[in-house]
Amino acid sequence: MIKNERGFSLFEMAIVLVIFGLVLASASSVLTLFVNRGGSEKTRQMMEANKNALVSYVQANYELPTTDEFSGSVTYPTDGYNINLYYYVDPILDKSMSTWELDSLSPEINSVCGASYTNTQVIICTTAACDNTDTNKTTVENVAFVMASGGDNKNLQTADVSGVVKVYPQGSVIDANTTVTNRAEGYDDIVDWISLNELRSKVGCDGEYIKFTSQMMPAVKKSTSYSYNFYVEGGIPFNGTSNQAEYEWRFTDTDALGFSVTRRDYNDSQIGTALDGGSSSWVQGHHLKISGNSALGKSQYRIKIDVRDKAQKAKDINSNGYTRTFILNAEQ
C-alpha cells in the first residue's frame, strides 16, 4: 500500500527561506560587528605603541618628527583597517621650529624640554555644533601631538584648524575633514593625544625652561667705570651668529641710570651698534652687556631685562619668556 506523503507547499518554503535569510543576515551583522570591534581595539593598541615610539624619538632627536617623517618614525603608520593614521604635531616641537646645525660650542637644543607651552588645543565636544552653545565641552591646552584613525567607517572626520582639534560625540553626523573623504556620517574616529607636560615627564626633562644664569650685579663705586653681562640658558634659542644659540632681549632703564647696552655674540664680540639705556623693541644676541661711568647719585638703580626664545616670539612675554629686575648698588 502506497502512503500519500505530502511535501512543503510554496508558502511554507517561502517562510523557511525568509527565516533562513534573517538568521544569515543576523549572523553577518554579528560577524561584521566583531570584525569592526577588533579593528578599533587593534587601532587603539597601535596608537598606544606609536605614542611610546614618539617618546623614544624625542629622547634620541630632541624634538618630534614632522608630519612627513611620522610614518618612518612610528611602529604602525597605518591603523587596524590598513589606512594611514592622521598625525598633527605642534609647530613649536618639531624640526621645522627648533633644529639647525650647531657647531661644537653650542649645547644641544631640546625643543620639547625647552618649551613651557604649545599652540595646540584638543576640544572634547558634547554636541555636533561644538561652538559657543556647547557649554559642556572640555578644552585640553598645551597638546604636543594628536593621532587619529577614521574608525569603522574608514572616514577620517577629524582635522586641525589653526592648531585646534575637535573630537566630536560618537555618532554625530559630521565631517570636519573633507580632504580625505567628503562624506558626513556618524562620527566614530579614534583620537588620541599627549600633552606637553606628559611628554616632558616621559622624556625625562629636567627644568630646561629659559632662565637667567646671571645673578646679582656687583656693587659699583661712584664715578668709576663698570660693565656687566646678562646671560640666559634653556628654552628654544634662535639660530644666531656662526650657528650659535641666541635670544631676543629688551630692557628698561627704570631709574634713568644712563648706560650703554650692546648685544654680544657667543665669543663676547659686539653685534651692531650700541643701544641706548632703554628699548621697547626686541633685539637679538647671545647675551647683553651694559657699561657706563655715571655719577651715580642714588644708592640703587633698577634695570629691567626681558628675554624670550624662538617659540616665545609670537606670544606674550610671560608665556615662555622671562622678566627679571636687576639692582645696581652704588658704593660711596
Of 6-15, 146-155, 158-167, 251-260, the range with the lowest mean pLDDT is 6-15
Provide DSSP, 34-74. HHHHHHHHHHHHHHHHHHHHHHHHHHHHSSBPPTTTGGGTS
Phi and psi angles of residue 325, each rounded to the nearest 5 degrees, phi first: -105, 120
3-state secondary structure 190-241: EEEEEEHHHHHHHHCCCCCCCEECCCCCCCEECCCCEEEEECEECCCCEECH
What is the pLDDT at residue 130?
94
Tell me the average pLDDT of the chain.
81
Residues of the chain with CATH 2.60.40.10: 211-331
Q: What is the structure's pLDDT at 316?
A: 59
The arithmetic mean of pLDDT across residues 76-87, rounded, is 96
CA distance 62 to 127: 38
Task: Look at residue 204 in the predicted model and tell me its pLDDT.
Answer: 86
Residues 6+ apart with CB under 8 A from 289: 227, 228, 229, 230, 261, 262, 264, 268, 270
Cell of 24: 544569515
d(CA 245, CA 237): 5
For 144-177, how does the pLDDT look when each residue is reduced to its tens digit (9 = 90+)?
999 999 999 999 999 999 999 999 999 999 999 9
Residue of 73, 63, 37 lying closest to 147 (CA atoms)? 73
Residue with more model confidence, 226 or 168? 168
Q: Which pLDDT band holds residue 207 (cuts at 50, 70, 90)? A: low
CB 322 within 8 A of CB 250: no
The answer to whether the CB of 256 falls within 8 A of the CB of 332 is: no
Query: For the residues 202-218, what does the mean pLDDT come to?
Result: 80
CATH code of the domain made up of 211-331: 2.60.40.10
> What's the confidence (pLDDT) of residue 103?
39
pTM (predicted TM-score): 0.71
How far apart are the C-alpha atoms of 280 and 251, rounded to whole Å?
A: 7
Q: Which has more pLDDT, 310 or 160?
A: 160
